[in-house]
Chain A
Amino acid sequence: DSGVTQTPKHLITATGQRVTLRCSPRSGDLSVYWYQQSLDQGLQFLIHYYNGEERAKGNILERFSAQQFPDLHSELNLSSLELGDSALYFCASSATGESPLHFGNGTRLTVT
């Protein structure tokens, strides 16, 4: 058990809808990372937050946004969903920049 909790495990929704994915990092970890994993694109870095502040952005679409709250949990908001957004979305946390990432088990999003 990595200590990182992601909810929900599965999400099925229709095109055009909006969803929110939630991540609780390991106790004490200040950094939260979001990744998207799909068969055709592989593992893609989306965004990194450190202690509530955005630190780095990767290949995150404008339709997607994230935030990290004072209690350090994070949410990834996906809006105007398209079929191509169907993927596994992972959250990872780390204590410091050099620390290993600890991954949650992911949220599988299916857009129909």
Chain B
Amino acid sequence: AQSVTQLDSHVSVSEGTPVLLRCNYSSSYSPSLFWYVQHPNKGLQLLLKYTSAATLVKGINGFEAEFKKSETSFHLTKPSAHMSDAAEYFCVVSNTGGFKTIFGAGTRLFVKA
């Protein structure tokens, strides 16, 4: 069975400080893992994708995520937050074949000036 847990429903950071959004997953298979971002009244946009090629995945807008199999984690980070990063972020796990895709509950990121 697959599951994904985003450990924080809300994260608040100051502009220019690091961002850490935490995600733990459970999967019986070698999963594909994704992070998506959703800005208000918009659809979800892919930030990055892990598919076992490299454990550190770089995405758009300066975000990256590290796959840690021993910890079953796939945390999203960014060295320096920008006001435009304020949005909701979803961690997603998908099994091989992709016919089972599970979304986390989302983490809302607030960025203070």
The answer to whether B77 has its CB under 8 Å from any CB of chain A is no
A103 close to B98 (CB less than 8 A): no
B90 close to A43 (CB less than 8 A): yes
Task: Answer whether A103 and B103 are a contact pair too, CB < 8 Å, given A98-B32, A98-B51.
Answer: no
- Interface stretch, picked from B13-21, B40-48, B65-73, is B40-48
Q: How many residues of B contact A (CB 8 A)?
A: 23
A103 close to B45 (CB less than 8 A): yes
A45 close to B98 (CB less than 8 A): no
* B57 CB contacts on chain A under 8 angstroms: none
Chain B residues numbered 61-113 whose CB sits less than 8 Å from any CB in chain A: 90, 92, 94, 96-101, 103, 105-106
Q: How many residues of A contact B (CB 8 A)?
A: 26
The answer to whether B22 has its CB under 8 Å from any CB of chain A is no
A99 close to B43 (CB less than 8 A): no
* A35 CB contacts on chain B under 8 angstroms: 103
A102 close to B99 (CB less than 8 A): no
Nearest-CB distance from B65 to chain A (Å)? 14
Instruction: Give A43 to B51 CA distance when docked, in angstroms.
Output: 23
The answer to whether A90 has its CB under 8 Å from any CB of chain B is yes
Nearest-CB distance from B50 to chain A (Å)? 11
The answer to whether B34 has its CB under 8 Å from any CB of chain A is yes
> Which residue from A4, A98, A99, A102 sits with its C-beta under 8 Å from B96?
A98
The answer to whether A70 has its CB under 8 Å from any CB of chain B is no
B98 close to A94 (CB less than 8 A): yes
A103 close to B99 (CB less than 8 A): no
> Which residue from B34, B96, B99, B105 sits with its C-beta under 8 Å from A42?
B105
Nearest-CB distance from B103 to chain A (Å)? 5
Instruction: Give A2 to B44 CA distance when docked, in angstroms.
Output: 9
List the 4 closest pairs (A to B, CB-CB), nearest first.
A97-B98, A103-B43, A97-B97, A103-B44
